[in-house]
Amino acid sequence: MTEPIPLDRLQLISEIAQRYYIDGLSQEEIAKKVDLSRPSISRLLVEARELGIVDIQINPPIPTVPDLENGLVEMFHLKEVRVVARKTAGDDDVWRMLGRLAANVLDRELQDGMVLGLAWGTMVHAVVQALHPRRLPNVKVVQLIGGIGAPHSDIDGPEQVRRTGEIFGAQHYYLNAPMRVDNGDVARALREDHTIKEVLELAQRADVAIVGIGSIDPKASTHFHVGYVSYEELRQLDKAGAVGAMIGFYFNLEGEHIPLPWLDPSVIGVSSTDLDRFGLVIGVAAGRIKVPAILGAIRTGLLDVLVTDDVAAEGVLALAQAAPDGAV
């Protein structure tokens, strides 16, 4: 039987890997700091890979479409647009590329001391999975909207916040409430709970936010699939002119927030007004089915950066020309 590796040795290996791969120190510099020989440092780095302490991943260049990026920026006056070229890639590969592009934007924009707000969903999860480890101990990572719980914990808000906090060595704050409760009275009571109230107040001060863009199509609506919105409610949303959602509010093709007395009061999270005050909002969504939702989200004026794919980008430009200012 293999003898277990002593904890102090594992900690040493982890420290050396951190200094080499994250801090960028040379093996010679590390050797001087920990009073070991350079060959010893080299052997410990090999051991770090063998033990799985270090997991090296090759990230090939992401094919993008500059013409579509420029076209969307010019038409909608967004700060930045990144468009993945699908080519023959499957959905899983596209999601990973979208995550990497959005993570690159975040890496450039996020500075220590900022408040980073995260929603939940497949696209936010893809971004978190692609984040680059950095030491940002004064960043506050906060959940923007209540969670969805099991069996969707892998894409839920608390998991995205926890993982991001670990990657950055940052402080992180959970919104310990569901996204939607039975009625407005229950929601108001929860919002007044001091732990939830404090997290919401922090979330309202986000400098940077990562959000997905939801659809009202039953095939693509996360709200529907996790049980927060019923099929009948999706039909009501369609009749009301809704095309998509961000955080917990719905909007039409013109980008106007659609007031929903049966939904809005029972949602626990930041509002569209809060989103408008954030320093930078990065929206991530892709696919033909999301085209109306993406166009409506852009027209809300709440997005600063859009990360999408060429199929959606082409569809958004075409729909915007066919339906100027939301006319159909």
Query: Could you report how far apart the first and last alpha carbons of the chain are, in Å?
Result: 71
Give the closest residue to 286 by CA, choosing from 215, 238, 216.
Answer: 215
Strands 140-143 and 171-173: parallel
Contacts of 276 (CB under 8 A, 6+ apart): 301, 302
DSSP state of 150: T
Please report the pLDDT score of residue 327 as a whole number.
53
Contacts of 250 (CB under 8 A, 6+ apart): 216, 237, 240, 242, 244, 257, 258, 260, 263
Q: Residue 214: left if φ>0, alpha if ψ -120 to 50, beta else—which one? A: beta
pTM of the entire predicted model: 0.83
Q: Would you report the helix, strand and coil content of the chain in percent, each value rounded to 5?
A: 50, 15, 35
Give the closest residue to 179 by CA, choosing from 226, 219, 135, 114.
Answer: 226
Which residues on neighbouring strands pair with residue 142, listed in sequence order?
117, 173
Please report the pLDDT score of residue 150 as a whole number.
65
Q: Answer whether 7-50 and 66-326 agree in fold.
A: no
3-state secondary structure of 56: coil
CATH topology of domain 66-326: Rossmann fold (3.40.50)
Q: What is the spatial distance between Cα 220 and Cα 205, in angstroms, rounded to a whole number?
A: 30
Question: For each of the chain's 328 residues, which pLDDT tens digit applies?
Answer: 457 788 888 899 999 998 998 888 999 999 999 999 999 999 999 999 888 888 877 667 899 999 999 999 999 999 999 999 998 778 889 999 999 999 999 999 999 999 999 999 999 999 999 998 889 999 999 999 999 886 778 899 999 999 999 999 999 999 999 999 999 999 999 999 999 999 999 999 999 999 999 999 999 999 998 889 999 999 999 999 999 999 999 999 999 999 999 999 999 999 999 999 999 999 999 999 999 999 999 999 999 999 999 999 999 999 999 877 755 4
Answer yes or no: are the C-beta atoms of 126 and 284 closer than 8 Å: yes
Which residues on neighbouring strands pair with residue 10, listed in sequence order?
none
Answer yes or no: are the C-beta atoms of 16 and 41 closer than 8 Å: yes
DSSP state of 249: E
Contacts of 9 (CB under 8 A, 6+ apart): none
Please report the pLDDT score of residue 328 as a whole number.
47
In angstroms, what CA-CA distances link 21 with 27, 86, 93, 113, 219?
A: 10, 31, 26, 23, 42
Sketch the domain layout of the chain as residue ranges.
Answer: 7-50, 66-326
Q: What is the spatial distance between Cα 174 and Cα 160, in angstroms, rounded to a whole number?
A: 10
Q: Which CATH number fits domain 7-50: 3.40.50.1100, 1.10.10.10, 2.60.120.330, 3.40.50.2000?
A: 1.10.10.10
In angstroms, what CA-CA distances link 220 with 51, 160, 226?
A: 40, 20, 11
Q: What is the spatial distance between Cα 143 and Cα 145, in angstroms, rounded to a whole number?
A: 6
